[in-house]
Structures are given as structure tokens and as C-alpha cells.
Structure 1
Amino acid sequence: MKPIVRKILALVVVVAVGAVAGPWVYINLVKDEAPEALTLEPATTTIAPESTTTIAVESTTTTAPVSTIDGDWKVVAESIVGYRVKETIVGQKTEGVGRTSEITGSLTIVGEQVTAAEFTVDMTTLVSDSTRRDRQVNTRILDTVNFPTSTFVLKKPIALTPEALAGSDFTVETTGTLTLRGVTKDIDLTLKARLVEDVIEVNGSIEIVFTDWSIPDPSISGIIVVDRGLLEFLIRFAR
């Protein structure tokens, strides 16, 4: 074999190995792990110090008076909305996650019901760990120039149980209207919520099948994205 041929073959092998090893090194050794899914903050429990004196106390459940939670609650800065998609980069599986806290909205409680709730997200402010991904999201994928916001509106009232009023985690199946990339649809979803002192936390996720929302295939050369993702949210409301 001529020296020039050997050099060409060696170069081809190096390029081939680099094409496979490069993404593996990036994903497994360089890239940070994707953030965990958004959930309600762990509940805190206060443990009383031990005492040698035993006192019999009647067990009671403290329920927030309805009058104290009636009214309008506003979205606060600690809220988060984002997306999560599964990606394959040259055979290496990973997740793409982008998030923002640029959210506005409100929630209204009357009696023992949530009578209205809505939030709007500034989609132009979504940020992930990849500027390349962010450019694709803002332009081709979500087209935030023409569709800069996304909105969710609750469709029907939610009854609050005594447990929910007492501060326990509360799970409910409900329906709402979501507007995303200029498409508006009614959706079913599961919400988890908790009333903690003067803050109401609401957590959930919505599966987004891209073709249902006029979202083009996010895949590009070398990166394959599955045909759906999650819209995740953890919204905090306060007075």
C-alpha cells in the first residue's frame, strides 16, 4: 500500500472515530445533566423536641379560613415554565431543556373554588444550555418573532377540598385552553397544587405533539428530536 493511501485511510479513520467519540465526550463529560422535572417543593415537617412530660392533646386539622384566601392571586417571579425534549446526537441520547421565569398571570378564589386562572409566558426568553438550540427554538421551531407568547386559561372551576385548604398536596384533573405558536386548543391535564402560608404553588406538564401545534420537525443535521415534548410549569401565586 502506498504511503499516500495509508495516510488517507488513517485520516478517514480519525475523522470517523472523532465523529462518534466527540458527541459521547461532550454529552457524558462536558455537558451538564438536564435539570430535573419541575415538581412541587418538598413539604417541610417540624419535629417537636422530646419531652419527659406527656400531655394528651385532641388531634385537629387546621384549615385556612375561606375568607383569608378569597380574591385574586398574582404570578410571582419564582415561577418557571419550560420545555423538555428527547434528543439523539450522533447516536448519543440526551435531553434538551429550556426555561424562563418571564411569566404573568392570575388566579381567583371565591368561596371554596378556584373560579379562574391563567398565565402567559414570554417565549422569547426561553433559555437552555445550548445557544444553538436556543436559536433554533426562537426562529424555526417556535417562531417567537411572530408568536412571542404562549397562554394557558383554565376552562372550568376547581373545587378545593378541606385537605387542600389545610395545606396538603392537592391533585386534580381539569381542562384548559392552551395557545402555542399561534394554535389554540382545549386540553386535559393533571394539576398538582399546594397552599403554603401566603403562596399557592401549581405544578403540571402538557405533552406537546409537534404536528398538532404546527411545530416543524426540530431535528437538524446530526441531531434527531422525537416528535413530541413536554411543556412543564411550576407557577407560584401570591397576593
Structure 2
Amino acid sequence: MNRSAKTAVALMASVAAIGAVALVAVPILARSMTLDQSATVQAVMPTVFGTPDDQLDGADESTSFSIDRSSSIGYRMESASGDDLVSAETDEISGVIARTGDTITTAEFMVDLATLAGDGGPRNAVLSALLAATGGNSTASFVLSDPVALPEAGGDPVETTITGTLTVRGISHEVQAQAEIGFDGESGTLTGSIPIALSDYGFSSTALAVVGASDTAHIDIDLVAAPAS
């Protein structure tokens, strides 16, 4: 084999190797489902593809925090008149928060809505209808898309707007919420309420067997961040 042919074969082998590595490295986050062709089933925790260094300039060190077991995620659905039709919460949460300097660069959590526990009575029937309407894909996740500035060290928690992607039933939409954030050198808190339009995620009051229900529900977040072990 002449030198040109050997070079061509070597280049082709290199390209093939790079492609194989890329296929292995890309996480598989979802699989197709028949309930909704536009929806996919979340299989793993949302992955942060960019690191804090990619998002911010400077040499500040990034610190990762895990979601403490004292955290909770709640779900509220109201009637058109403002009365709670269902109120439930869970402490079975996976997630991570990353801080670089005075900025939160990453905040994401995942929760299985099937772990929500209500307060009994008729409201549980509404919660059961909600879970049935997920078609077996009851995972919900939130991934922060815009960095959030933190208050000064030792200062009181601040109220701010957080923007991110909320995925429910495999359907993703950008959402905004008012939140209160406080961090010191050892831990932090993030609390707020994310309003969601149920119709955006394929739910309807008819499917939920609820008459007079508002199209807007809320995912209430009460996260306590502890240093990652």
C-alpha cells in the first residue's frame, strides 16, 4: 500500500473512533412513548452539559451542593375561584446546585409525581386522576437556564426571578418563577412556586374529571442545599 493510501486509511479510522466516542458520551435522556408522539420519557437525571467555567468568566472556584433530605417539592391545583383542589408534596428528590463566586450557575431537580402524598379525602381522587393522566410517565424535572446572582455574604435571602425548563410527562417548556434564594459558605436555600399551564403538558380538566378547575397549577419548591459529598 502506498503512502497516500495509508494516510487516507488512518484518517478514516480516526474519524470513526471520534464518532464512536461521541455516541457513547452523549447521555440518553428519554425514550419514545405512544401516549404522545411529541413526548419522551425521562430516564435519568437532567445532565448539565456546560460547566460553570463555560458560563462565567473569571477564576472563581465552583462549588457543588446536593439536595438535602429536608427538601420538599409540592404540587397544588386550584379551582377557578382559587380554592385548593389538591395539595400534595414529596421529599424524594434528586438534584444538584452549583455556585461559582456570587452566582448560582446550575440548579436542577427531578421528582417522581407518583411519590406525592396528599392529605386524604376527595383531593386524593384528583391527585390519582392527575397521575393516571401522565400515562405512566410521572417524572417532572426543572433545569435552571439563566444564572442567578446571590446576595452578599451574610446578607438576608433575596427575592429574584428564576428562568428554566420544566419537563412534565416528557414535554418541556420554559417557565419563570419568583423565588427566594439565600446562601452562605456551607449551605443554601431556594424556595418558590413555579406556575404551570396544565394544557401545555397535555392535561385537561376533563381528563382529570375536575369541573371548574383552573388551567394553572403550581409546583412549590423548598430546596435545602448541602455540600456534595
- Structure 2 counterparts to residues 6-155 of structure 1, below 5 A: 70-87=62-79, 94-130=84-120, 131-140=124-133, 142-143=134-135, 145=136, 147-155=137-145
CA distance in 2, matches of 1:82, 1:171: 20
The structural deviation recorded for 1:226 is 2.0
- Structure 2 counterparts to residues 187-202 of structure 1, below 5 A: 187-195=175-183, 198-202=186-190
The structural deviation recorded for 1:230 is 1.2
8 A Cα contact 2:204 2:215, kept in partner: no
Q: Does residue 220 of structure 1 match 2:203?
A: no
The structural deviation recorded for 1:103 is 0.5
Q: Which residue of 1 aligns with 2:16?
A: none
Q: Which residue of 1 aligns with 2:21?
A: none
Q: SS at 1:187's partner residue? A: strand
Q: Which residue of 2 aligns with 1:174?
A: 162
Q: Does residue 156 of structure 1 match 2:146?
A: yes
CA distance in 1, matches of 2:84, 2:195: 18
Q: SS at 1:128's partner residue? A: coil
The structural deviation recorded for 1:95 is 3.5
CA distance in 2, matches of 1:216, 1:102: 26
CA distance in 2, matches of 1:133, 1:95: 7
Distance 1:87 1:156, change over 3 A: closer
Q: Which residue of 2 aligns with 1:229?
A: 217
CA distance in 2, matches of 1:84, 1:171: 21
CA distance in 1, matches of 2:78, 2:138: 24
The structural deviation recorded for 1:219 is 4.7
Once the two structures are superposed, residues 82-106 of structure 1 have per-residue CA deviations (whole angstroms, 9 ceiling, x without a partner) of 1111248xx9x55420111110101
Q: TM-score, normalised by structure 1?
A: 0.61
Q: SS at 2:200's partner residue? A: helix
Q: SS at 2:117's partner residue? A: coil
CA distance in 2, matches of 1:199, 1:206: 22
Q: SS at 2:126's partner residue? A: helix
8 A Cα contact 1:98 1:126, kept in partner: yes
Q: TM-score, normalised by structure 2?
A: 0.64
Q: CA RMSD in A?
A: 2.6
Q: Does residue 184 of structure 1 match 2:172?
A: yes
Q: Which residue of 2 aligns with 1:54?
A: none
Q: Does residue 204 of structure 1 match 2:192?
A: yes
CA distance in 2, matches of 1:94, 1:171: 25
8 A Cα contact 1:181 1:215, kept in partner: no
Structure 1 unmatched ranges of 5 or more = 1-66
8 A Cα contact 2:69 2:91, kept in partner: yes
- Percent identity over the alignment is 25
CA distance in 1, matches of 2:102, 2:84: 43
